[in-house]
Amino acid sequence: MKSIFRILLFAMAMTTFCVSTYAQKDSRQRMTREQLAEKQAKYIAKEMAMDDTTSEKFIATFCRFQQEIWALGPRPKRETSDRTDAETEQTLKERFDHSQKILDLRKKYYVEYSQFLTQKQIERVYKLEREMMNRLYYRSQKKKAYK
């Protein structure tokens, strides 16, 4: 009886140990939005082979731009449920207003980028940013498909 109890106790201890180590392997910590923005800015600066001073200015400006975009909040949802014309009009106006705010921010930061980047560099920044956003979007869609 004692040997059965010992074996059972040993099996429970091994199960507990294995489950806790397995859970630790999968729990990778996600980056915060600020960390992600800084990492994106550093990637863009590296891809464009910016010098140190330009790189520092770009990273700080890019992070400020991202913070202002986040401050606007998420995009208004596209609900396709049965709505009245007045509700649909209100939703469209909210989406236009949000898009206009984003456009205003892009213009503001375009002026800031123009102070230390050439026009071709700014265009390349926008292209690299768009590629990263597309990559992150498709990665998130793949994760959703597996769930």
Taking only the tens place, the pLDDT of each residue in 8-43 is 555 666 676 665 555 555 556 888 989 999 999 999
> DSSP class of residue 83?
-
What's the token pair of residue 55?
Answer: 């790189």
- pLDDT number for residue 11: 63
pLDDT of residue 142: 79
What is the reported pLDDT for 80? 67
Residue 133 near residue 140 (C-beta atoms within 8 A)? no
In this predicted model, what pLDDT tens digit does every residue of 63-107 receive, in sequence order? Answer: 999 999 999 988 777 766 777 888 888 888 999 999 999 999 999
Q: For the chain, give every domain's residue range.
A: 31-146
CB 58 within 8 A of CB 37: no
Helices 33-47 and 52-71 meet at what angle, rounded to 10? 140
Whole-number pLDDT of residue 19: 57
Q: What pLDDT score was predicted for residue 143?
A: 76
Rg of the Cα atoms in the chain? 25
Closest to 104 in 3D by CA, of 133, 71, 79, 129: 71
Burial of 140 (0-12, 13-18, 19+ CB in 10 A): exposed
Predicted TM-score (pTM) of the model is: 0.72
Confidence of residue 134 (pLDDT cuts 50, 70, 90): very high
Q: Compute the C-alpha angle 22/28/31, nearest 5°.
A: 170
Helix locations, the chain, DSSP H = 2-26, 33-47, 52-71, 85-114, 119-146
Question: DSSP secondary structure string, 1-40?
Answer: -HHHHHHHHHHHHHHHHHHHHHHHHH-PPPPPHHHHHHHH
